[in-house]
Each structure stands twice: as C-alpha cells, then as structure tokens.
Amino acid sequence: MELYFIWAQDNLLTIIAVALTLVLIYHYIVERDSGVKLTKRYRNSIFEAQSKVFLNATQYLISGNKDLAIKEFLSAVDINRETIETYFALGGLFRSNGEIEKAISIHRSLIARENISESNRLRALKELALDFDKGGFIDKAVETYKDVLKINRDQHEVIRSLCRIYEDIEDWDHAYQYRLMLSKVAHENQAETISHILVQKAKQYFAKGDLNKCAEDLEEAFRFAPSVSAKILRLKLHLYTGDIEQSKFQLLELLKEHPMYASFIFESLSEKSEKVDPKIQEVYQKRFEILKTYFLELSDDDLLASPSVILSKVRLLKFSGDAETAFELLKQWMSENIKPSDVMKAEYINLLIELDRKDEALSATKELLGNLHHSLTKHFCQACGYNSDGIFWRCPQCHEWETIQFRWKV
Ligand SMILES: [Zn+2]
C-alpha cells in the first residue's frame, strides 16, 4: 500500500499527463459530435495542437525536466478553455504534494490571463492564498485573503482562514474583528469563541499591568458569552480590585458549575503579572490567601463528592505544609467512595510516605501497582484527542474552542 503511494508521488506528473490527455480526448469526441460551435477544420487543428503539447510535455517528463513539462501544460490553457478546470486540479495537486512554488506559478499565471472570467480569477486568487498559507508565507497569505475579500466579502472559508491565522499568531484585535465578520457572513453563532478571544485580549492587558483595559475587554467578553475562561479571569480581577465577599461568591459559583476546573482555577490565580504595581500585588496576595482558606473550609456535599475538588484541597494543604490534614481529608473521602481513581490512590500513598507511615505506604503501593492505568497527560481535546499538560482554550491541533478535558496525572 505504502509502496504504491510513494510510486504515485514520484510519478505525479506522469499521472496528470495521462489524465489530461484523457480529458482532452473526451472533449474532442464530445465536441466532434455536437459540432455546433466550431467548424471541423478548426476542431481538428485544436486537437493537433493539444496532441503536440502533450507529446512535448511527456518528452520533458521522460527526460526528468518537470519545470519545462509544467510550462508545456500551462500553454495548453490558451488552446482550450475547457481545460481550465484541469489546471485548478493540477494546482491543487501540486499544493497537496508540497510543491508550493509550482502551485503558486500555476495560480499566478491563471490570474494574469486576459481571457479568464471574473469568477475564475477570484477562484484562482483564493487558491493562491491557500498556496501561501500552506507554504507558511503568512504575510502573503493574509494579504491575498484580504484581496479576495475586497472583490467579494461573502467568503466564509476565506474569513475562517484569516481567523485561524490571527489566532495562531495571537493577534487578538484582528482575530476579534474577523470573528465578528464570520458571524455575519456564515450566519453561525460565534459568541462563545468571541468571548474566549476577548478574554485572551484582556489577558494581554493584564500581562502589561493595565487592569482597567483588562476589565473593559472582559466586560465585552461577558456581553457575548459567559465562558469559563471569562469567569476565571473575572474572579482574578475581583481579587485585585473588588471586594473579597464577591470573590468568594464567584469562586463558589464557578466550582458548582465546573468542579473539574478546581485545581486549574487556583493555578490561574497564582499566576502573577510582573508589571502590576507591587503594592496592589501585595493586597492581592493577602486576599488570595483568604480565598484559599475559604475554599479549604467549604463543606458543600455536592462539591466534596467531586474528586477534582478533593484533590485540589489535598494539594493546597500539602503545599502549605499541612500533610496531616490533607491525609485525613483524603482518607475520609476514600472510605466513602468505593472506586477511587489511580490518581487518588497515588496521592494517598504520597501522603503516607510524607507522614512516614512506611508499612501502610508499602501495602497501598502494592495494591495500586497491581492494576495501574497509565495516564499520559493532564489534558486532552475531546474533539480530536490532542494531548497536553498545558491549558488550551483553543486546541492547537483542531483549532476548536473549549474542547479541553481534564484527567488527573499519576
Ligand atoms: Zn482538538
């Protein structure tokens, strides 16, 4: 199977030459029978010219000169307009074969033709943008996609590509602008995604230490949708500038809605911006400690049933040096839940070791090793299965938003 594939790749031009010849013979036969538009003599001369082109091209192919072969193929467009479809196919094949420069030269030559319809010119321009995009010429791709939109704005595939590029390079201003455009053109609800993009924009202001601008973009994000990332950032901003009671309330709401984000929430809250005024930072740190204590004292039954919430509590306690309380909490939970996950068991063993309870640690380890599942990463994408230890609101692999799933790492 693989061998055939490699052969097909090596002989792409030959395959195309044969296919083109078949297409032209087909046209010749069809047109010979219809015979309305062209006189017989004219048709025959076209066929002869075409045959000559393909004979030349095939000779170049045999001698291994691919560039000259392409040139011969391209000159055939002059002879028969019907073949324009074949040239789009040829350009697409080159692009998918990674021969970007050849694809570009085909599409450029199509755009430059005088005798081409406006719709085909637009199509060639779109193809050219795709060539640049695939080839990694981002600036040229953006420029060409924009040229397409200047001719016709109703191109949701093109707008979608611009969205992807701007999100990739984290230019959130433009990403926002084109998402808005996409929601109008494609008639698709983009509110959740726009909210995420605005949160990314707000985070950039946070990193620069501009809390006011950060709050403005965040407010805008909520206008579109109350995404999880927006709620976490709002909680953080509240700890900086708002009152502590409100922060406690927001934390509780977040945990009730998404208990699996528990540890991530605290990870996010402990990330600092170097640019924020040190005095404000100091106030923040104090409030953050109050919030942690509030979380550790939460005894809501629904919340305590969630392994994520328990593990977050255990790890916060361990981090603050209170392994004893952490152990008691976990032991209690394990006794109430029949099937604790491997991660819970591993955490339990860790605590036993930390408390120097060697015999118990040894027997618990033995039991765990007996039926250990290997978990790979902390997070994965539910849409495409992408694995990562980092947080991704937008999957780097399939570019979907908020498809992240959590699993606890052993
Ligand atoms: Zn994905």
What is the pLDDT tens value at each position of the chain, 410 positions in all?
Answer: 445 555 555 566 566 666 666 665 565 555 555 444 445 555 566 566 666 666 666 666 666 666 666 666 666 655 555 678 878 888 888 898 888 998 999 899 889 887 788 899 999 999 999 999 999 999 999 999 999 999 999 999 999 999 999 999 999 999 999 999 999 998 888 999 999 999 999 999 998 889 899 999 999 999 999 988 899 999 999 998 878 899 999 999 999 999 989 988 999 998 887 888 888 888 899 999 999 999 999 988 888 888 889 999 999 999 888 999 999 999 988 888 777 888 888 889 999 999 999 898 998 888 887 766 555 678 889 989 898 888 889 999 999 998 888 876 65
User: Is the residue at 395 inside a domain?
Assistant: no
Within-domain flag for 308? no
Helix (H, G, I), strand (E, B) or coil at 384: coil
The answer to whether residue 333 sits within a structural domain is no
Shared domain for 131 and 237, answered yes or no, is no
For residue 163, how far is its CA from the centre of ligand 1 (angstroms)? Answer: 16
Cα(270) to centroid of ligand 1, in Å? 27
Q: Which of 338, 336, 292 shows the shortest CA–CA distance to 315? A: 292
CA distance 392 to 402: 8
Q: Tell me, yes or no, whether 135 and 235 share the same domain.
A: no
**Cα–Cα distance for residue pair 83/88, rounded to 1 Å:** 9
Cα 288 to ligand 1 centroid, rounded to whole Å: 33
Q: How far apart are CA 349 and CA 355, in angstroms?
A: 10
**Around Cβ 229, how many Cβ atoms within 10 Å?**
23
Q: What is the CB-side half-sphere exposure of residue 89 using CA atoms within 13 A?
A: 15
How many whole angstroms from 387 Cα to the centroid of ligand 1?
Answer: 9
pLDDT for 15 equals 63
Which of 298, 319, 344 is the last residue in one of the domains?
Answer: 298
CATH number of the domain at 211, please. 1.25.40
- Find the length of the chain: 410
The answer as to whether 342 is a domain residue is no
Identify whether residues 219 and 146 lie together within a single domain.
no
Name the helix (H) or strand (E) containing 181.
helix 172-185
* CA 53 / ligand 1 centre spacing (Å): 47
| Ligand 1 center to 191 CA (angstroms) | 19
Q: How far is the CA of 149 from the centre of ligand 1 (A)?
A: 28
User: Are 245 and 146 part of one and the same domain?
Assistant: no
Identify the helix (H) or strand (E) that includes residue 380.
strand 379-381
Same structural domain, 140 and 17: yes
pLDDT value at residue 36: 44
Q: What is the pLDDT of residue 6?
A: 55
Q: Whole-angstrom Cα distance, residue 65 to residue 249?
A: 72
> Is 50 within a domain?
yes
Same domain, 25 and 109: yes
Please tell me the distance between residue 184's alpha carbon and the centre of ligand 1 in angstroms.
25
Q: Is residue 341 part of a domain?
A: no
Q: How many domains does the chain have?
A: 2
* Claim to verify: residue 119 and residue 202 sit in the same structural domain: no
In terms of domains, do 143 and 195 share one? no
Whether residue 201 sits in one domain with residue 125: no
Q: How far is the CA of 382 from the centre of ligand 1 (A)?
A: 7
Q: Which of 91, 122, 152 is the last residue of a domain?
A: 152
Q: Report pLDDT digits (tens) over 146-155.
A: 999 999 999 9
Residue 39: its pLDDT value, please? Answer: 54
Residue at which a domain ends, from 260, 277, 298: 298
Cα 187 to averaged position of ligand 1 atoms, centre (Å): 23
Instruction: For residue 410, tell me if it sits in a domain.
Output: no
Q: According to the model, what pLDDT value does residue 1 have?
A: 46
Q: Are residues 77 and 200 in the same domain?
A: no
Distance 403 CA to ligand 1 centre (A): 7
Q: Is the Cβ–Cβ distance between 202 and 217 less than 8 Å?
A: yes
CA of 408 to the centre of ligand 1 (A): 19
CA of 384 to the centre of ligand 1 (A): 4
Q: What is the pLDDT of residue 46?
A: 56
Ligand 1 centroid to 100 CA: how many Å? 26
How remote is the CA of residue 39 from the centroid of ligand 1, in Å?
A: 58
Which range of residues forms the domain containing residue 285? 191-298
Q: What is the pLDDT of residue 85?
A: 80
Separation of alpha carbons 376 and 387, rounded Å: 8
Tens digit of pLDDT for each residue in 49-104? 666 666 666 666 666 666 666 666 666 655 555 678 878 888 888 898 888 998 99
Q: How far is the CA of 197 from the centre of ligand 1 (A)?
A: 17
Domain identity same for 27 and 138: yes
CA of 358 to the centre of ligand 1 (A): 43
Phi and psi torsions of 46, nearest 5°: -60, -45
Distance CA 222, CA 228 (A): 10
State how far the Cα of 309 lies from the Cα of 313, in Å rounded to an integer.
6
pLDDT of 224 = 95
pTM of the model: 0.68
CA of 232 to the centre of ligand 1 (A): 22
pLDDT confidence of residue 249: 93
Distance from Cα 321 to the centre of ligand 1, integer Å: 38
Together in a domain, 144 and 203: no
Residue 98 CA, ligand 1 centroid: distance in Å? 24
Q: Give me the residue label for tokens 């031009």.
A: 13
Query: In this structure, how many other beta carbons lie within 10 angstroms of the beta carbon of residue 253?
Result: 12
Read out DSSP for 62-110?
HTT-HHHHHHHHHHHHHH-GGGHHHHHHHHHHHHHTT-HHHHHHHHHHH
Do strands 379-381 and 387-388 pair parallel, antiparallel, or not at all (unpaired)?
A: antiparallel
Instruction: Tell me how far the alpha carbon of residue 268 lies from the centroid of ligand 1, in angstroms.
Output: 22
Domain at 140, CATH number = 1.25.40.10
User: Is the distance from CB of 116 to CB of 127 less than 8 angstroms?
Assistant: no
Query: How far does residue 89's CA lie from ligand 1's centre (Å)?
Result: 30
Task: Tell me if 350 is assigned to some domain.
Answer: no
User: Cα(first)–Cα(last) distance of the chain, in Å?
Assistant: 40
